[in-house]
Amino acid sequence: MVSIKTQVGIVGAGPAGLLLGQLLTEQGIANVIVERQTPEHVLSRIRAGVLEKGTVDLVREAGVAKRMDREGLRHTGFDIAFSGKRFRVDLEKYSGGSFVMVYGQTELTRDLMEAREASDMSSYYSAKDVRLRHLTTQKPEVTFDSNGENISIECEYIAGCDGFHGVSRKSIPSDVITEYEKVYPFSWLGILTETPPISDELIYVNHERGFALCSMRSPTLSRYYLQVDGDACVENWSDDHFWDELRIRLPPGDTSNVVSGSSIEKSIAPIRSYVAEPMQYGRLFLAGDAAHIVPPTGAKGLNLAASDIAVLFKSITLAIKEGRTDAIQRYSEVCLKRIWQVQRFSWWMTNLLHNFDNNPFSYRMQLAELDYFTSSESGLTAIAENYVGLPNPAVD
């Protein structure tokens, strides 16, 4: 058994774990990252691509914004299509001058991994049998096997950033945690294509046959999604079938603007809302997908992970550098207030835009709601201020 000591043990090298590691490293706080997969595997996952202004600011604070600021696309609005027409939500106007940045999660992860490699903090990839122990003591530990060697890391704090299927949440006794979950009766089928996007901005489509989304990664790389049945299989969706269905769901005026091409990635994601409360147990703190999942409508998953990290980073820094533990004790409570607000918006957008039950009355209710929200200044303000991101909680 090899024993190592550090200040913060981070489980998981997704965007949450890597971002926390980078922020702590910048502050001179020692940290070790333990990840189950290889770096290549982590980078092969295609996830969302819209960063809230608060996430952009945090990435800049972490000192890893160079490529994002050069290549990211600043979007000041997005479209909602319904009743065969498109309506632009002017984010800048209705959010008091804010914006979102289109920059793929994979690219952000790559930037964070490069910064990590250039730092002198250690990371263990391909870690087997990761376990957490002594969580309610002053010296919690992360243990795992790396290349046949048994390693134990003694920490002051552990950040559980290991996603929905990770070991961290499962290490909290079940009578301490309450889980809230809603599983939706449909999935999203996504494709990535080396074709120019249909429009300069994103289009969220409400259609009787189901939701569609036209998104992008760059001026030459498009990301499209279709709502499909919960039991749909990728094998049953050829590229041609995908493009045909997308064209049907778009407003008639946009159909001819679709530039189709063969997909370079195609995957199906189930849609769920999930929250685990509380997000802390002893010296273990959950962040990101380890504690909550939102449906992707509204692109909040990565942003919610980033706002947890903003709070966790500041709270750990206060505890380690100033010996003040009041903020870290309130971590879960502070994060959950915002998390429930973001859950509400993601759930609302999902309800507004998807076909749940093939019921014409439900569809007419959606159209009435869309009509109401898009013709009211306060309705548009409510959409815009949530879409660009609610303020990150103050930690002081």
- Interacting residues toward ligand APR by CB under 6 A: 11-17, 34-37, 42, 47-48, 105, 127, 130, 161-163, 165-167, 288-289, 301-302, 305
| Active-site option among 53, 266, 300, 354 | 300
Is 106 a binder of ligand PHB (CB under 6 A)?
Answer: no
296 is annotated as an active-site residue:
yes
300 is annotated as an active-site residue:
yes
Give the interface segment with ligand PHB, choosing from 66-74, 235-243, 278-286, 293-301 (CB under 6 A): 293-301
Is 298 a binder of ligand PHB (CB under 6 A)?
Answer: yes
Question: Residue 73 or 318: which CB sits closer to ligand PHB?
Answer: 73
> What is the Cα–Cα distance from 112 to 263, expressed in whole angstroms?
27
363 is annotated as an active-site residue:
no
Is 335 a binder of ligand PHB (CB under 6 A)?
Answer: no
Is 49 a binder of ligand PHB (CB under 6 A)?
Answer: yes
145: how many CB neighbours lie within 10 A of its CB? 15
Residue 297 interacting partner from ligand APR, ligand PHB, none (CB closer than 5 to 8 Å by kind) = ligand PHB
* Binds ligand PHB (CB under 6 A): choice among 14, 72, 160, 296: 296
75 is annotated as an active-site residue:
yes
Decide: 346 and 355 in contact? Cβ < 8 Å.
no
| Active-site option among 140, 197, 295, 296 | 296
List, in order, residues 6 or more apart from 366 with CB less than 8 Å away. Answer: 82, 206, 351, 352, 353
Q: How far is the CB of 289 from ligand APR (least distance, A)?
A: 4
Is 354 a binder of ligand PHB (CB under 6 A)?
Answer: no
| Active-site option among 124, 204, 224, 225 | 204
Computed over its alpha carbons, how large is the radius of gyration of the chain?
21
DSSP string, 22-88: HHHHHTT--EEEE-SS-HHHHHH-----EEEHHHHHHHHHTT--HHHHHH-EEESEEEEEETTEEEE
Residue 77 interacting partner from ligand PHB, ligand APR, none (CB closer than 5 to 8 Å by kind) = none
Is 223 a binder of ligand PHB (CB under 6 A)?
Answer: yes
Omega into 219 within 30° of 0, i.e. cis?
Answer: no
Query: Dihedral (C-alpha) 57, 216, 349, 110: value to the nearest 10 degrees?
Result: -40
Question: Residue 91 or 334: which CB sits closer to ligand PHB?
Answer: 91
DSSP 394: P
> What is the Cα–Cα distance from 309 to 116, expressed in whole angstroms?
16
* C-beta nearest to ligand PHB: residue: 215
Residue 141 interacting partner from ligand PHB, ligand APR, none (CB closer than 5 to 8 Å by kind) = none
Question: Which one-letter amino acid corresponds to residue 207?
Answer: H
Residue 288 interacting partner from ligand PHB, ligand APR, none (CB closer than 5 to 8 Å by kind) = ligand APR
Residue 311 interacting partner from ligand APR, ligand PHB, none (CB closer than 5 to 8 Å by kind) = none
Q: Is 174 helix (H, G, I), strand (E, B) or coil?
A: coil
Decide: 331 and 41 in contact? Cβ < 8 Å.
no
Is 319 a binder of ligand PHB (CB under 6 A)?
Answer: no
Give the interface segment with ligand PHB, choosing from 44-52, 58-66, 272-280, 318-326 (CB under 6 A): 44-52
Decide: 162 and 11 in contact? Cβ < 8 Å.
yes
**Partners of 185 in the beta sheet?**
none
Kindly state the greatest CA–CA separation across the chain. Answer: 66
- Cα end-to-end distance, the chain, whole Å: 40
Q: How far is the CB of 301 from ligand APR (least distance, A)?
A: 3
Residues binding ligand PHB: what is the number (CB under 6 A)? Answer: 11
Is 48 a binder of ligand PHB (CB under 6 A)?
Answer: yes
Question: Which one-letter amino acid corresponds to residue 109?
Answer: T
| Burial tier of 6 (Cβ tally within 10 Å: 0-12, 13-18, 19+) | buried
Catalytic annotation, residues: 75, 204, 296, 300, 387
Q: Which parts of this chain interact with ligand PHB (CB under 6 A)?
A: 48-50, 202, 213, 215, 223, 296-299
